[in-house]
Amino acid sequence: MGQSRSRWRRAAAAVVGVGAAGVAVTAAELGVIGGALLREAYRYPKPIDDGPDPLLAAPSGARSSVVGASDGTLLHAVISGDVDAADEIVILIHGWTCNTGFWNAQVGHLGGRRALIAYDQRGHGLSEMGSTKPTAELLGRDLQAVIDELVPDGKRAVLVGHSMGGMTIMSWAAQFGAGMEEKISGIVLTSTAAFGVVQRQLLVPKNLPAFARPFEPLVERAFVSTPLPLPANSAITERITHYVALGPVARQAHVDFSDEQIAACSPTARAAWGAAMYSLDLRPGLAKITVPTAVVVGSADRLTSPEHAEEMAQVLRGNGVLHSITEYPGAGHMVPIERAVQYNRLLDQVLDDVAAAHPLEV
């Protein structure tokens, strides 16, 4: 345990040393903050090792496609089902540090019954990073390119976003949301936030000593914006992944899967998009949503807490487009993995409701 803490503190020092923009942070502050994080992670119950989760297995039958973004960057997409014959096409938009495999449980559930499109955000999975500086606006432009390229004329899509994927939807709405009912029939915002996402995370314990508290913002910013390689399934990264991304009571299969998703992301892309999220404010896009929208969150989400979900729901409710707000007790940030069965049922309900409320004109 002592050796693990020492390694974590050295890693924390490297992260903040790179990410603190030249601000001096002493080993004492680093040791206190890094040690506090590690202590909280090790206080979590050990994951329940009850074998693999078959829902997370890669589904069969999906085919790959390529979409050219507005700046020429090539984005990888996977398509399941017949998009030409479907009335509603589900577009799955993953979050920061993940890839299309994040949605395995949803593609496996909906595949064969619904037409699906999932794509790798730029710099993630098989998508190119491109040379354009990552910004919140770029997320929305990439989604528009996917819609233009892969959703046939006369068809509508249901946008399902997790974490940065939900931010992508709000960015898209700000830029392309005028008359969205013609192309979009529903939205699901999962484990996401409209503003203050990095500044309001719940990772750093609140009982830090007074001398270390001023350095917390530096750690928060460095956490998301430093291009540090992350090994998968090491003893420390599993603990940190569990603490950061999942609820306290989690399955080992879900911790492993999440850890592998995060480790597979390019450090450069992870840092670039993390930096972009630090200053985003997507409330104008949220206010422009005009189709039924479900909001989903886990009660134990440390990255995008239920406070964010209620704020978004309040805006949507005020605009008369809130479909539902659902909070899964004990779930963390990875709701589509941690509560796949319940989440899939919710998607079924949303899809049925929007199809009934907005039948496609023939």
pLDDT of residue 27: 53
Angle at 183 between CA 315 and CA 63, to 5 degrees: 115
Is 290 in a helix, a strand, or coil? Answer: coil
pLDDT confidence tier of residue 329, bands split at 50, 70 and 90: very high
Q: How confident is the model at residue 291 (pLDDT cuts 50, 70, 90)?
A: very high
Q: Are 95 and 224 in contact (CB under 8 A)?
A: no
List the end-to-end C-alpha distance of the chain, in Å, as a whole number: 65
| CA–CA gap between residue 170 and residue 165 (Å, rounded) | 9
**Chain centroid to CA 281:** 16
Please state the rounded mean pLDDT for residues 175-181.
96
For strands 63-68 and 88-93, give the pairing: unpaired
Q: Which residue has the higher pLDDT, 312 or 274?
A: 312
Look-up of token digits 């009660």: 299
Q: Residues 326-352, buried b or exposed e (16+ Cβ, 10 A)?
A: bebeebbbbbbbbbbeebbebbeebbe
Cα separation, 319 vs 17, in Å, equals 45
Report whether pLDDT(330) > 50.
yes
Supply the pLDDT for residue 12.
46
Using CA atoms, how far apart are residues 280 and 210, in angstroms rounded to an integer? Answer: 29
- The answer to whether 96 touches 330, Cβ cutoff 8 Å, is no
Digit-coded pLDDT (tens) for 192-241: 999 998 888 887 766 655 555 555 565 555 555 455 555 555 778 888 89
Looking up tokens 């630090």 gives 278
Per-residue pLDDT reduced to its tens digit, 125-173:
999 999 999 999 999 999 999 999 999 999 999 999 999 999 999 999 9
Residue type, 360: L
Rounded distance, CA 143 to CA 207, Å? Answer: 41
Domains delineated in the chain: 54-196+276-357 (3.40.50.1820)
How high does pLDDT run on average in the chain? 87
231: left (phi over 0), alpha (psi -120 to 50) or beta: beta
Q: Are 28 and 110 in contact (CB under 8 A)?
A: no
pLDDT of residue 16: 39
pLDDT score, position 210: 59
Please tell me the least confidently modeled range out of 2-6, 104-108, 290-294, 306-310: 2-6
CA–CA dist 317, 310 (Å, integer): 10
Residue 28's pLDDT band, with cuts at 50, 70 and 90, is low
Say yes or no to pLDDT of 20 above 50.
Answer: no
Mean pLDDT is highest, among 4-13, 67-76, 82-91, 213-222, for: 67-76
Name the nearest CA neighbour of 165 among 306, 304, 307, 324: 304
Between 19-23, 115-119, 167-171, 270-274, the lowest mean confidence (pLDDT) is in 19-23
What confidence score (pLDDT) does residue 26 get? 52
Which residue do the tokens 């104008």 mark? 284
Query: What 3-state class would DSSP assign to 157?
Result: strand
pLDDT of residue 10: 47
The residue-averaged pLDDT of 27-37 equals 62
Mean of pLDDT values over 229-254: 85
Please count the other Cβ atoms lying within 10 Å of the Cβ belonging to residue 50. Answer: 9
Amino acid letter at 227?
Answer: P
